[in-house]
Amino acid sequence: MSDFGNLYFKKSILITGGVGFIGSNLARKLVELGAHVTLVDSLIPEYGGNLFNIDGIEDKLHVNIADVRDEHSMRYLVQGQDYLFNLAGQTSHMDSMHDPLTDLEINAKAQLFILEACRKFNPAIKIVFASTRQIYGKPDYLPVDEKHRLSPVDINGVNKLAGEWYHLLYNQVYGIRTSVLRLTNTIGPRMRVKDARQTFLGIWIKLLIEGKPFEVWGGDQLRDFTYVDDAVDAFLMAASNNDAIGKVFNLGGDCAISLKQLADLLLEVNGSGEYAIREFEKDRKKIDIGDFYSDYSLIRTMLGWAPKTTLRNALKDTLEYYRRYIDKYI
């Protein structure tokens, strides 16, 4: 990770979705930097919060078990904060299609609660919002840059796009200092592995550690992957650099790789394992976007961010973590 010196020392930080995958890794870095950190998480089982994610630092931060859909809680929680890292969200694309109203509540409506709370009670706060590459839909060209048309293929993408635009609008109209990171596939320690709600790689790793074969759907699709430490760097760079205000940035990985190549690399790093190629089910095929990898040259040029961790090392570190702690995640 990058060295941020005293930038965050004694700053008050609020992280929504803070006991989840990226939020907890971000919290660890901020605690290390001497920040006063408050985590907000509903701990609803489907959404990835896991108290083990903050094991060892629980006495160095505050945890508030609250739902971002509770506007009264958010009014209280945003007060006095210097920075808000807004990571709370429903991430499952299939869940969003089966239960679109819940996805709407979390990924769109709740974002207005948060922004209204900031506008009324802490307009000086700086916010970094976690968006997703899913808002682009099926790419017209590769790599996908921020100028690519936005055409989500599922409910999750539509609602995340609304949440993103709310943040940009509140910057333009009310002067709330917001910026947006469009994340690609983020991987690493503390990600959800009990199912594929957060990332398909999680269930691959769980089954691999259990000595069971995993399934690769399709196999030819190209993807890129960001290691969580690199994603944390991007959030901290965006929050601390005024050039990021009102801007949208793609994150990306060190390479584009097919899912079959990824499966082979995972087995190679693990030293054993097996998988089976499967054809898409009809409902899953309708929302598959084909090949996707990001052009992250804008954030590299403006903020100096680039992924530092190779995919091989990211897989190695992730496997080592879950070999030790898999029982805490299943």
| Residue 83 token pair | 């920075």
Q: DSSP secondary structure string, 52-108?
A: GGGTTTGGGSEEEE--TT-HHHHHHHTTT-SEEEE------HHHHHH-HHHHHIIII
Rounded to 10 degrees, the C-alpha dihedral 20/22/28/29 comes to -160
Looking at residue 108, which CATH number applies to its domain? 3.40.50.720
What integer pLDDT is reported at residue 283 of this predicted model?
60
Is residue 159 in a domain? yes
Is residue 122 in a domain? yes
Is residue 2 in a domain? no
Within 10 angstroms of residue 249's Cβ, the number of other Cβ atoms is 25
Within 10 angstroms of residue 72's Cβ, the number of other Cβ atoms is 10
Residue 271 three-state SS:
coil
Cα dihedral sign, 270-271-273-274:
positive
CB of 53 within 8 A of CB of 19?
A: yes
Residues in the chain, overall count: 330
What integer pLDDT is reported at residue 68 of this predicted model?
92
What integer pLDDT is reported at residue 284 of this predicted model?
62
Structural domains of the chain, count: 1
d(CA 64, CA 87): 15
Q: DSSP secondary structure string, 191-208?
A: ---SSSSS-HHHHHHHHH
Q: How far from 170 is each of 43, 119, 135, 180, 276, CA to CA, in Å?
A: 28, 8, 19, 12, 47
What integer pLDDT is reported at residue 114 of this predicted model?
96
First and final CA of the chain: distance in angstroms?
28
Is residue 241 in a domain? yes
Is residue 324 packed enough to be buried (19+ CB in 10 Å), middle (13-18) or exposed (0-12)? exposed
CB of 23 within 8 A of CB of 85?
A: yes
- What pTM did the predictor assign? 0.95
d(CA 270, CA 209): 9
Is residue 242 in a domain? yes
Is residue 4 in a domain? no
Is residue 7 in a domain? no
User: Going residue by residue through the chain (330 aa), what tens digit of pLDDT does each one get?
Assistant: 778 999 999 999 999 999 999 999 999 999 999 999 999 999 987 777 999 999 999 999 999 999 898 888 999 999 999 999 999 988 777 778 889 999 999 899 999 999 999 999 999 999 999 999 999 999 999 999 999 999 999 999 999 999 999 999 999 999 999 999 999 999 999 999 998 767 899 999 999 999 999 999 989 999 999 999 999 999 999 999 999 999 999 999 999 999 999 999 999 999 999 999 998 776 666 667 889 999 999 999 999 999 999 999 999 999 999 999 999 999
| b/e sequence 126-163, b meaning 16+ C-beta within 10 Å | bbbbbbbbbbbbebeeebbebebeeebbbbbbbbbbbb
Amino acid at residue number 92: S
What integer pLDDT is reported at residue 288 of this predicted model?
72
Q: In what order do the strands lie in the sheet with 126-132?
A: 62-65, 36-41, 12-16, 83-86, 126-132, 177-183, 248-250
Q: Rounded to the nearest 10 degrees, what angle do helices 155-174 and 110-121 cross at? A: 20
Is residue 5 in a domain? no
- Note down the domain range covering 233: 12-328
